[in-house]
Copies of this chain bind each other. A is one copy, B any other.
Amino acid sequence: MRKFSLASLVAMFIAGGCAIEEVTLNSQQVLDASQAAEWRKIDADSLLVMTLPAGQVVIELADEFAPAHTRNIRTLVANHYFDDSRVVRVQDNYVVQWGDPDADTSNARSLGEVSNTLSGEYFRPLAGLNFIALDSRDAYAKRVGFVENFPVGTDGKRAWLTHCYAMVGVGRDNAADSGNGSSLYVVSGHAPRHLDRNVTLVGRVVAGMEYLTSLPRGSGPLGFYETPSEQTPILRLQAAADLPEDKQPSVEMLRTNSKSFEHWVRARRSRTEDWFIEPGQAIGICNVPLPVRANP
């Protein structure tokens, strides 16, 4: 029943700088064999730390795709806008959303120097990006791949972040410029790719998703909580760079332009673990786990 001819992967690894070893690696072995230089330590300037009662959520910002929105978010964070804010919405198999629970009332928090409206950053030119293509038939985009450790779709000219699990976006009303970064959400279910190019994505949760995804679902329309007492407090949302050095999360990502990442994708596409009977020889853009080493 097992189809080793297809399933087995022969990866070439240069060990010790001279010996060449031919080995069949599964995904764990790929990580074990990776080199230190293949990992990218995420700069503290690109990390936010959101503290919930249950634990910490670490977010990497995607400045290359949404520079104006990430600038707004950094300003709001510096002004403590999100401290003592709330998770206001948990829609099963969709998104978890947070921000000022009184945003739509006369008690709304001040946005300070941040403008209430901001043009959507729904896509950008593909040119100028280090796009690593993924060989995959995608329902939504002509081509898919990665830029650094973010999943990306492209039509050959425009490029956009894709709504995979853990991607963070900016809530907005109907107007294209009605988002500003004060209301944020994270994808918590099967990728809602119909949102691609309709919402500004600003980053990705790289640690602590489980503190958001295990929250009780909201019983109101779209999963909004119906009473304030159901909302989960966000104690603080801080820039990692503003934390004492020993409290800063250390997050490393396997570079998507590394040999080990190439082997990682191959191993995930053609599973060689004994458990698999008929490995699928296929992979979707939102099914590629992006290897992360985090110590929050």
Contact = CB atoms under 8 A, between A and B. Distances in A.
B140 A138 contact: no
Contacts of A209: 92-93
A278 B122 contact: yes
A276 B136 contact: no
Nearest to A194: B280
Interface string A265-282: 000100100111111101
Interface stretch (A13-21, A31-39, A184-192, A249-257): A184-192
B210 A284 contact: no
Contacts of A213: 92-93, 213, 217
Contact of A190 (B122, B139, B194, B287): B287
A284 B198 CA distance: 17
Given A189-B190, A214-B216, A198 B277 contact: yes
A215 B287 CA distance: 23
A190 B167 CA distance: 12
A59 to B, nearest CB: 16
A135 to B, nearest CB: 10
Q: Give the 9 A-B residue pairs with the shortest CB-CB distance, closest first.
A: A139-B284, A210-B217, A140-B282, A137-B137, A92-B210, A165-B190, A136-B139, A197-B278, A194-B280
Interface of A: 1, 90, 92-93, 120, 122, 136-140, 164-166, 173-174, 176, 189-194, 196-198, 209-210, 213-217, 268, 271, 274-280, 282-287
Given A192-B287, A193-B280, 13 more contacts: A93-B209, A122-B278, A137-B138, A138-B139, A139-B284, A140-B280, A165-B190, A173-B275, A190-B286, A190-B287, A194-B271, A196-B280, A214-B217
